[in-house]
Amino acid sequence: MTGPEEGRRFEAAVAPLLPDLLRYFVRRVDPRADADDCVSETTLALWRHRKRLPVASEDQRMWAFGIARNVLANHVRKRARRARIDETLVREEREPASDEAFIAREALGTLAPADQEMLRLVLWDGFGIAEAGALAGVRPAAARKRYERARARLRAAFVELEPGSARAAAPR
């Protein structure tokens, strides 16, 4: 079965289950908006697996709730991961940055956005130079040149901003 008939069969099976699925998620997730998102994700997953839609209505309900349970498990994992990331970010914000880290951020900010991104991809995100170039849409040879030039510009900006350097001490 394909086409409109398949869509009608799917809708006839799933539409009556939507209020039950919403109640299932409302009782298990917070905030309420997440429950709506989980129902949407479940409906999408049901559609993707519509070829396995059981014929009997009670089996359809069990099938739908089995998929909803998987969506809930994924949602809980995502929320936990997001909470850990938020906690790490808050902890990092509370920790005072060293003078050197502050100067490095300031120096990075003086570079062109493309240079900043190349350096971040390599130094912060752990990509190789060729990989960073591919992400930036640059060939490996050009990426190596861009990376080296960006590093040289960063070094120069760092020296210029570093306290006690001749340039930093000079009036502007």
For residues 126 and 121, give the distance between their C-alpha atoms in angstroms, rounded to a whole number.
Answer: 6
pLDDT attached to residue 165: 59
CATH top-level class of 4-94: mainly alpha
Contact 72, 29 (CB under 8 A): yes
pLDDT attached to residue 95: 61
Q: Would the CATH topology of 4-94 be identical to that of 99-169?
A: no
pLDDT attached to residue 93: 67
For residues 151 and 132, give the distance between their C-alpha atoms in angstroms, rounded to a whole number.
Answer: 14
pLDDT tens-place values along the chain, 172 residues long:
567 888 898 999 999 999 999 999 999 998 888 999 999 999 999 999 999 989 888 899 999 999 999 999 999 999 998 888 888 877 766 665 667 777 878 888 899 988 988 988 888 888 899 999 998 898 999 999 999 999 999 999 888 887 765 554 444 4
pLDDT attached to residue 90: 79
pLDDT attached to residue 141: 94
In the chain, domain spans: 4-94, 99-169
Domain 99-169 belongs to what topology?
Arc Repressor Mutant, subunit A (1.10.10)
